[in-house]
A and B are shown apart, each in its own frame.
Chain A
Amino acid sequence: NAGVMQNPRHLVRRRGQEARLRCSPMKGHSHVYWYRQLPEEGLKFMVYLQKENIIDESGMPKERFSAEFPKEGPSILRIQQVVRGDSAAYFCASSPFPGTNTGELFFGEGSRLTVL
């Protein structure tokens, strides 16, 4: 099992461009979580998705950010019209179980977004 795969590992965008970050969960995992880590800060929850459904998006900024986890293919975190404040490391985690009460999330290596 290859583990959670995120790509690209590094992405550079200019202000106003779009950023797309991809996450392939571990085999057999149908629950995906996205977290953001700003410089010098901890991990902040963004969104929890199951296949084709958004379960909890309470951590997503109201504008410019969206996430999906289609029936086929990876989960995508999309940031439109990026601004410098979006520069951060974005982590994806997957789980074979619904919810987080087991605490067992498997993390990817992260995608580092830099906005010029």
Chain B
Amino acid sequence: AQRVTQPEKLLSVFKGAPVELKCNYSYSGSPELFWYVQYSRQRLQLLLRHISRESIKGFTADLNKGETSFHLKKPFAQEEDSAMYYCALSVSGSRLTFGEGTQLTVNP
């Protein structure tokens, strides 16, 4: 069965420090993976997708099929990055399976 695991419920870093939010998945098919973000008092929104190999707001994520991981990274965290982050896997092209989320706090 498909599964997305985010091992850290809470992550706290200082402004300017590097940040890495971990995501591991299990899926027998070809994985399509995404990161969603929810800022305080805002809706859940797509941050980036692995297929695009893009950098959004300084964040990148690389799909590592050998380690079945899709960790989200940013070299220098900003206070405005504080939010809830969810890793998501497209299953059978008809639904997204979400991890339980990581609450990132960037301290001044």
Contact = CB atoms under 8 A, between A and B. Distances in A.
Interface of A: 3-4, 33, 35, 41-45, 48, 55-56, 58-59, 91, 93, 99-109
Contact of B95 (A41, A100, A107): A100
A47 to B, nearest CB: 9
Interface in B63-92: 86, 88, 90-92
B34 to A, nearest CB: 4
Among A4, A33, A58, A107, chain B packs the most CB atoms within 10 A around the CB of A107
Contacts of B101: 42
Contacts of A4: 43
Interface of B: 32, 34, 43-46, 49, 86, 88, 90-101
Q: Is the interface of A mostly helix, strand, loop or mixed?
A: loop
Among A59, A93, A103, chain B packs the most CB atoms within 10 A around the CB of A103
B99 A109 contact: no
Contacts of B99: 42
Q: Is the interface of B mostly helix, strand, loop or mixed?
A: strand
A99 B93 contact: yes
Contacts of B95: 33, 45, 48, 56, 58-59, 100
14 contacts: A4-B43, A43-B44, A43-B98, A56-B92, A59-B95, A100-B93, A100-B94, A103-B32, A103-B46, A103-B90, A103-B96, A104-B46, A105-B46, A106-B45
Given A42-B99, A42-B100, A103 B49 contact: yes
Contacts of B96: 33, 45, 100, 103, 105
A15 B77 CA distance: 46
A55 B43 contact: no
Given A43-B98, A56-B92, A104-B49, 17 more contacts: A33-B96, A42-B86, A43-B86, A45-B95, A48-B95, A59-B95, A91-B44, A93-B44, A99-B93, A100-B94, A103-B32, A103-B34, A103-B46, A103-B90, A103-B96, A104-B46, A105-B46
